[in-house]
Amino acid sequence: MNNTENNKPHKLHRTTLIIGAVSLALIVILGILYFKNRSEMKVLVDEMVQEKEMLTYEFENLALDYDSLQTSSDTLNTMLEREREKISHLIEEIQTIKATNASKIREYKKELTSLRRVMKNYIVQIDSLNQSNKALQEENQQYKKKVTTMQSTYSKLEVVKETLQEKVEIASKLETFNMEAEGLNSKGRSTRRTSRISKIRICFSIQKNITAKVGEKNIYLRILRPDGALLYHSKDDLFEHENQKINYSAMRTIEYGGQELDVCLYYQVDAGELTGGEYIADVFADGRNIGTLHFNLN
């Protein structure tokens, strides 16, 4: 009886020790599991943070890739700007979410893939447009070269034309020969005494010229006295020479047919108008001086 009673406390003490040992073991095991899980969780969280940072980095690189796209198309530029704004908003959103929000991270990854695919499509379009622009630029350069060549040819032809016109003008200029001057008295007799001269007659021959224009021509005569004064009767007696109007002493209209032609012009002298010395007679036609003669009167 006593042995039984003595064994009871011993068994109770032994049970308590076993329970305590088991509890301690459980506590130790639970502690180990807790710290192990905590460590694993920390590693997982760190990985998710890195994944978020990497995702942000990839979106930023994508934004730079979009910024590098250049095109001359206003429509494409508008669409590219829209994509850039979208990427900028997504970067801001990613920075605000928690790294542990796995579902959101997956959504952004899908969006990143989609945006990359869209960008590749834009690259193809821009490359095609650039190729077309390059072809147009080359075609434009060829066109400019042709235009430059044509302009150069035209300029040369203009020079040739002007040269030919000058030659034609020179060739068509009337020329005189056998010019003679004579003073006539009131009876039509020849005299060189200025006091007796009532008319001055200038005669000459116009050379044959088949390139000159035929038809009526006005022949003008200018006679200068020894003192350089022009002999003329009216200030209204004018003709055009070298783009200005000048007076003439006498004028006659002839019919020129391209063949040699003899012509005489007369100047009616006013009383006391003449002086002794050397006179100069110039003949004009078609706005050009076609003959000059120096003669003396006493």
**What's the rounded mean pLDDT across residues 75-81?**
81
Helix (H) or strand (E) holding 288: strand 288-297
Q: Is the pLDDT of residue 135 over 60?
A: yes
Domains assigned to the chain? 1-172 (no CATH), 176-297 (2.60.40)
**How close are the terminal C-alpha atoms of the chain, in Å?**
198
What tokens does 218 get?
Answer: 């006005």
**What's the rounded mean pLDDT across residues 47-73?**
78
Written as one string, the DSSP assignment of 84-123 is HHHHHHHHHHHHHS-TT-HHHHHHHHHHHHHHHHHHHHHH
Confidence of residue 267 (pLDDT cuts 50, 70, 90): very high
Confidence of residue 35 (pLDDT cuts 50, 70, 90): low
**What's the rounded mean pLDDT across residues 87-100?**
77
Q: Is the pLDDT of residue 210 over 60?
A: yes
Q: Which residue has the tokens 């235009």?
A: 147
- % of the chain at pLDDT higher than 90: 28
Please provide residue 237's backbone torsions phi and psi, each rounded to the nearest 5 degrees: -80, 90
- How far is the C-alpha of 90 from the C-alpha of 59, rounded, in Å? 8
Confidence of residue 183 (pLDDT cuts 50, 70, 90): very high
Taking the alpha carbons of 209, 213, 217, 220 in that order, is the dihedral positive or negative? Answer: negative
Q: Is the pLDDT of residue 79 over 90?
A: no
> Residues 281, 222: contact at Cβ < 8 Å?
yes
What number of other Cβ atoms are within 10 A of residue 130's Cβ?
13
Q: Which residues of 42-70 are buried (b: 16+ CB within 10 A; e: fewer)?
A: eeeeeebeeebeebeeebeebbeebeebe
- How far is the C-alpha of 81 from the C-alpha of 87, rounded, in Å? 10
Residue 131's beta-bridge partner residues? none
